[in-house]
Amino acid sequence: MKKTVLITGASRGIGRATARLFAHEGYQVAINYHKSKQAAQELEAELTSEGCTAMTVHADVSNRDQVFEMVDKVLFSYEQIDILICNAGIANYGLITDFTEADWRSIFAVNVDGIFHAVQAVLPHMIHRKAGKIITASSIWGLSGASCESAYSASKAAVIGLTQSLAKELGPSGICVNCVAPGATRTDMISGFSPEALEAFRMETPLERIGTPEDIAKTYLFLASSAADFITGQVISPNGGYII
């Protein structure tokens, strides 16, 4: 039986590349989207035309009811969820003195609460089966913090703490929980930076390049594979050596 992966935030960027990679590796892929319905449906059509198994599922991950409904739909269609990849995330740049309380809470609602909702939704199924893998998305800024990204950095640091706690709690149930903390990656999230800023970042990276969504997708795939069956509670940071 094919394994099933549910990927949040899978209509664009890293999530989209991850959906493609897992589908081509033979997984049944549930493509979660919030606002990018057309992009998600186009990805589903692309993958199914290639003989892959894929479906789109809508949910704003910050909305608990929508997340639980999404998981129910995936389980109805695919019967089980073997891997949950909590990839959905948002960023907000600026001085902390300029942030409103709403700005702060919106970051945490997606980046942290979204993981909490998704994990709680899939856990009864995974615990019943005594198997499963949960992969969360942090950032290098969750490891070291970034100037003018206080809310984002704090939320991504919280993801790391949550991941490590869950690994200890869920290990006896046969569930591995790990975290991926990417460096700068060519997605919409860095599209607002100037070419000069990106070039400076590239030159500060030992491998002298910005990451691609495919780089991060491959890390997700490794953690989902049997090669990582004895890995849990870890933070893997594909960042080109920017943080060592």
Place of tokens 């903390």: 181
For residue 41, give the amino acid letter.
Q
3-state helix, strand, coil in the chain (%, to 5): 50, 15, 35
**Among this protein's residues, is 242 annotated catalytic?**
no
The Cα 19–Cα 53 span in angstroms is 11
Place of tokens 């892959």: 52
Cβ proximity of 90 and 36 under 8 Å:
no
Place of tokens 């919280």: 158
Catalytic choice (27, 33, 78, 152): 152
For residue 216, what are the CA distances in angstroms to 161, 192, 219, 226? 20, 20, 5, 18
The Cα 90–Cα 189 span in angstroms is 8
Catalytic residues: 152
